């Protein structure tokens, strides 16, 4: 026995310590202003750091069950909770804070309020990034007297009130206890397993949601879960999570049969997030529990399970959406979110590192502390013009009975980079309007870091094969600021805008220009440069290349990046001697499609379509699923009666059951093609996904890109030999065809159809703007009379307006088989627009050089109104 139960040598529980904090914070009353409370928090952080150092020394000379160690952990926990309650609960209730927060986004904020908000945001970031409090809480739970865990508990007569009193957050409960809670309390269940397992079988409950283990990291906050991990979830599950603080219990369960232990690690991480990083919906009285033995123990205890229906025809026949895995694809962020999916994809595509739990630990980095907690009397005094305050004496806090309260209110938006508390320098009282920022030695997560440690050949074309390790930035390599006001994040991101030419391998300019244009998409470039794509290669995808295309595309990007870094650091010119030979990549493409095997000229838009389709199939998480069944005639008739907006959404959900990848999220849209009988008005509509949208080019002297879209979406009267065989009339009838754009992607690739069926080229100048508004071409006929259940279909970013910014242009001169391809690419604010002609690369002469008569394929990225 590591301790004696007879002597009651236990640490005080989390509930007991939280009650101490509640009492301590309440002693201040409600009359304090924001300045006083901020000073109190800073003083308490100083105490937190001092007690952390003391605990570290105590651990060197005492066992983990020593009363001195107990007291040290208790004090560290209490100091942290004091700061969190004041910062995240008390200050936001102040009228002064509400006014300062409302004015923070404009120039009207005065200097004093601005200084206060800067200090406040610094404190919030400190709490948010503290990586020790989870270990402190875990130690306290493992070394405090255990309450009911459900083992051996068979008494079904115990009341819900007794259960609620005995069970504390972080505890693992037995299936019998869970049944009691579900019968007598409000319980939110979180199934922490892959969606496919969840669909196959889950605990039967109306308040159940699924969270995939790979979708989050232990460093996330509840806001990150909502905006990143749950961005792929159906709306009703998102609503459940938003209301998690209204439940008596949140019970998380996973599968104990998962051999690697990753699910259980993520389960512990999720408990930590909900208890310690729940800022937007603080769990004041809600207890967070886990299920002992996972769903397997629930089944053994005769617990009721059910499966999710998968028949998507029910959406048409019964207005039933339960057959869709709405969370199977990343849902584009609506304009109401400032957070864009191009950044939220990074953690989803990077395998998270879960904490290693499951055994009692002896922490090695927390300081020791005295049983008595210090209270600085500056808590009672106001700040005067942020002047330094003298030191003050301390008084102890007495022990108290158990209670539970975790108070984390809404937090303001934070910068992506924030330090951990152990890197925080000694904090002195506020002395000026602007507090010195915390040390920024920690890079933002999932941000590409670069450096100058790799070696390269001194000259000549660089072969595609590169075996060196990825270079890393040393902290001193990153400037804190630049003369033109560029931030640290922008400095790191600018290296995604690398410049290097590609060698023409013999009429391969069609390939070179498309590669350069696609790398203008930072989202695509990032996931292949940081290798996160590897987590999603599906070797079982029926139409994929077993990862061959994705692997060689990534290798090419790596080589281009490293060569560009050498060019930049050694200040070499971009020419034939420094260009990259994409020979291995071309061989890989030729091995998959013989069209690109020879040295003959090809159509660049066909290569673009091939590359995006191939990458999609390699990364298609549903590539091994059976193909969609054709709809019955009855279901088709019901679909025709629905608004296009709803029918297209249902068809998109059906499509996602067989096609789900990051390429779908980044590049794919959808249009409908409706045939209509001119005699009986019978219609038949099909829905088609696209990665490259081919629009006609009208003949004449010049036209605009909007003219092309008008031509693309106009009603077309079919010729006699193309007339539709109407199923109602039982014969071919005069008919029309109408194309409607039903889904606009985040990256829109527009192919200008300059070549007719005889390969004659239309060289008309198509005017296209830097900012393109396509809102008027997007189908918006949603009606209120549609079934209520169908109104709940995920929007997946299909919220107007639809404005796009030009970021690349593939141009073509000459004929289809005797011409040449070049590219214009916007390489960000550091480089601007650049012109690529195989090996050569230069900046454009002016901003409108990219608006060219020879434009053939246009690349646009969606922008959102602020």
State residue 219's pLDDT score.
Answer: 86
Spot the catalytic one: 41, 210, 509, 513.
Answer: 509
- Give a yes or no: residue 541 inside a domain: yes
How many whole angstroms separate alpha carbon 708 and alpha carbon 695?
6
Containing structural domain, residue 504: 475-616
Q: Same domain, yes or no, for 369 and 336?
A: no
DSSP annotation of 364: S
DSSP annotation of 626: P
How many whole angstroms separate alpha carbon 427 and alpha carbon 360?
33
Active-site residue, 770 included: no
How many whole angstroms separate alpha carbon 405 and alpha carbon 766?
64
CB atoms closer than 10 angstroms to residue 346:
20
State residue 574's pLDDT score.
Answer: 64
State residue 90's pLDDT score.
Answer: 84
pTM of the model: 0.51
Q: Same domain, yes or no, for 846 and 776?
A: yes
DSSP annotation of 86: I
> In the chain, what is the greatest distance between 2 CA atoms, to the nearest angstrom?
96
Assign 724 to helix, strand or coil.
strand
Per-position DSSP letters for 211-278, written without gaps between them: --GGG--TT--HHHHHHTGGGGS-HHHHHHHHTGGGSSEEEEE-BTT-TTSHHHHHHHHHHHHHHHS-
What beta strand segments (E) does 286-327 contain? 287-291, 305-306
Q: Same domain, yes or no, for 498 and 380?
A: no
Q: Residue 743 is encoded by which pair of tokens?
A: 């889904």
Looking at 377, 395, 417, the residue that finishes a domain is: 417
Q: Same domain, yes or no, for 589 and 653?
A: no
- Give a yes or no: residue 68 inside a domain: yes
Spot the catalytic one: 3, 62, 770, 820.
Answer: 820
How many whole angstroms separate alpha carbon 732 and alpha carbon 715?
18
Q: For residues 803 and 866, is the Cβ–Cβ distance under 8 A?
A: no
State residue 316's pLDDT score.
Answer: 60
- Give a yes or no: residue 8 inside a domain: no
State residue 318's pLDDT score.
Answer: 55
- Give a yes or no: residue 317 inside a domain: no
State residue 475's pLDDT score.
Answer: 31
Share in percent of the chain as helix, strand, coil (round to 5)? 40, 15, 45
Count: domains in the chain: 4
CB atoms closer than 10 angstroms to residue 106:
7
C-alpha distances (whole Å) from 541 to each of 477, 546, 660 are: 42, 7, 11
- Give a yes or no: residue 469 inside a domain: no
Q: For residues 548 and 592, is the Cβ–Cβ distance under 8 A?
A: yes
CB atoms closer than 10 angstroms to residue 629:
10
| CATH number (domain holding residue 242) | 3.40.250.10
| Helices 644-656 and 633-641, axial angle in degrees (round to 10) | 130
- Give a yes or no: residue 358 inside a domain: no
- Give a yes or no: residue 462 inside a domain: no
Q: Same domain, yes or no, for 517 and 560?
A: yes
Q: Same domain, yes or no, for 34 and 109?
A: yes
Q: Same domain, yes or no, for 385 and 512?
A: no
Q: For residues 156 and 175, is the Cβ–Cβ distance under 8 A?
A: no
Low-confidence ranges of the chain (pLDDT < 70): 1-9, 29-30, 104-109, 145-166, 232, 308-494, 573-576, 783-792, 866
Q: Same domain, yes or no, for 681 and 801?
A: yes
How many whole angstroms separate alpha carbon 774 and alpha carbon 669?
13
Q: Same domain, yes or no, for 108 and 214?
A: no
Q: For residues 209 and 252, is the Cβ–Cβ distance under 8 A?
A: no
DSSP annotation of 90: I
Q: For residues 77 and 133, is the Cβ–Cβ distance under 8 A?
A: yes
Q: Same domain, yes or no, for 667 and 808?
A: yes
| CATH number (domain holding residue 547) | 3.90.70.10
Active-site residue, 729 included: no
How many whole angstroms separate alpha carbon 343 and alpha carbon 448?
12
How many whole angstroms separate alpha carbon 433 and alpha carbon 208?
47
How many whole angstroms separate alpha carbon 792 and alpha carbon 69?
53
Asked if omega into 801 is within 30° of 0 (cis), the reply is yes
Q: Same domain, yes or no, for 681 and 797?
A: yes
Identify any residues that bridge with 290 across adjacent strands, giving them in sequence order.
172, 252
Q: Supply φ then ψ for residue 446, to 5 degrees.
A: 60, 15
- Give a yes or no: residue 602 inside a domain: yes
Q: Same domain, yes or no, for 561 and 673?
A: no
């Amino acid at each position: 026995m590591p301790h004696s139960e007879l002597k009651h040598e236990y640490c005080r529980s989390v509930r007991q310590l939280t009650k101490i904090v509640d009492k301590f914070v309440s002693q201040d009353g409600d009359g304090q202003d924001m300045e006083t409370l901020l000073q109190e928090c800073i003083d308490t952080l100083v105490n937190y750091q001092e007690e952390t150092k003391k605990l570290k020394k105590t651990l060197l000379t005492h066992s983990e069950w020593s009363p001195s160690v107990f007291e040290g952990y208790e004090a560290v926990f209490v100091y942290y909770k004091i700061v969190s309650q004041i910062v995240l609960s008390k200050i936001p209730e102040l009228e002064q804070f509400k006014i300062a927060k409302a004015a923070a986004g404009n120039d009207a904020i005065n200097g004093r309020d601005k200084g206060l908000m800067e200090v406040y945001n610094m404190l919030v970031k400190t709490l948010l990034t503290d990586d020790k409090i989870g270990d402190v809480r875990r130690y306290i739970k493992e070394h405090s007297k255990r309450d009911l865990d459900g083992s051996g508990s068979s008494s079904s007569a115990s009341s819900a009130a007794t259960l609620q009193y005995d069970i504390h957050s972080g505890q693992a409960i037995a299936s019998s206890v869970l049944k009691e809670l579900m019968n007598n309390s409000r319980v939110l269940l979180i199934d922490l397993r892959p969606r496919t397992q969840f669909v196959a079988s889950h605990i039967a409950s109306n308040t159940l949601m699924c969270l995939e283990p790979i979708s989050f990291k232990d460093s996330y906050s509840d806001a990150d879960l909502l905006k990143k991990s749950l961005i792929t979830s159906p709306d009703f599950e998102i609503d459940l999570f938003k209301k998690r603080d209204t439940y008596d219990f949140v019970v998380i369960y996973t599968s104990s049969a998962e051999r690697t232990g990753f699910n259980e690690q993520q389960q512990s991480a999720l408990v930590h997030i909900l208890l310690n990083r729940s800022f937007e919906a603080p769990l004041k009285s809600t207890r967070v529990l886990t299920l002992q033995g996972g769903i397997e123990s629930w089944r053994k205890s005769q617990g009721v399970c059910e499966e999710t229906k998968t028949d998507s025809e029910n959406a048409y026949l019964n207005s039933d959406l339960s057959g869709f895995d709405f969370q199977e694809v990343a849902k584009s962020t609506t304009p109401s979110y400032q957070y864009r999916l191009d950044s939220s994809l990074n953690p989803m595509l990077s395998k998270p590192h879960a904490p290693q739990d499951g055994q009692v630990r002896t922490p090695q980095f927390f300081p020791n502390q005295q049983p008595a907690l210090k209270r600085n009397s500056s808590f009672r005094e106001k700040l005067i013009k942020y002047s330094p305050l003298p030191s003050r004496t301390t008084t102890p806090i007495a022990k108290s009975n158990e209670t539970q309260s975790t108070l984390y209110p809404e937090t303001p938006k934070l910068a992506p980079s924030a330090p951990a508390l152990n890197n925080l320098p000694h904090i002195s009282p506020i002395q000026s309007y602007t507090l010195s920022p915390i040390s920024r030695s920690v890079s933002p997560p999932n941000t590409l870091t670069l450096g100058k440690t790799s070696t390269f050949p001194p000259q000549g074309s660089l072969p595609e094969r590169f075996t060196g390790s990825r270079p890393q930035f040393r902290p001193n390599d990153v400037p804190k600021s630049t003369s033109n006001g560029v931030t640290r994040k922008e400095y790191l991101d600018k290296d995604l805008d690398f410049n290097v030419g590609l060698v023409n391998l013999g009429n391969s300019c069609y390939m070179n220009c498309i590669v350069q244009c696609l790398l203008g998409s930072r989202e695509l470039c990032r996931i292949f440069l940081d290798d996160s794509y590897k987590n999603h290669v599906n070797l079982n995808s029926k139409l994929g290349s077993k990862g061959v295309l994705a692997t060689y595309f990534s290798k090419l990007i790596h080589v281009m990046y490293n060569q560009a870094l050498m060019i930049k650091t050694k200040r070499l010119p971009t020419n034939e001697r420094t260009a990259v030979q994409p020979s291995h990549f071309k061989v890989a493409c030729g091995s998959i499609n013989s069209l690109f095997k020879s040295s003959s000229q090809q159509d660049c838009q066909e290569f673009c379509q091939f590359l995006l389709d191939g990458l999609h199939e390699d990364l298609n998480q549903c590539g091994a699923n059976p193909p969609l069944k054709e709809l019955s005639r009855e279901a088709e008739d019901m679909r025709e009666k629905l608004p296009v907006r709803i029918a297209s959404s249902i068809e998109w959900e059906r499509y996602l059951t067989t096609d789900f990848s990051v390429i779908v999220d980044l590049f794919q849209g959808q249009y409908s093609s409706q045939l209509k009988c001119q005699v009986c008005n019978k219609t038949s509509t099909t829905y088609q996904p696209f990665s490259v949208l081919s629009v006609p080019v009208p003949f004449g002297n010049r036209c605009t890109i909007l003219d092309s879209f008008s031509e693309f979406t106009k009603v077309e009267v079919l010729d006699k030999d193309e007339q539709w065989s109407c199923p109602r009339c039982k014969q071919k009838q005069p008919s029309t065809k109408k194309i409607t754009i039903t889904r606009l992607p985040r990256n829109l690739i527009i192919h200008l159809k300059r070549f007719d069926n005889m390969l004659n080229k239309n060289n008309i100048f198509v005017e296209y703007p830097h900012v393109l508004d396509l809102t008027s071409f997007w189908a918006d006929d949603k009606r209120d009379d549609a079934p209520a259940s169908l109104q709940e279909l995920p929007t997946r970013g299909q919220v107007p307006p639809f404005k796009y910014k030009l970021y690349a242009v593939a141009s073509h001169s000459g004929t289809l088989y005797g011409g040449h391809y070049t590219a214009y690419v916007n390489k960000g604010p550091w480089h601007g627009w650049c012109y690529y002609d195989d090996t050569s690369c230069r900046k454009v002469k002016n901003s409108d050089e990219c608006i060219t008569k020879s434009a053939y394929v246009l690349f646009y990225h969606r922008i959102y109104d602020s």
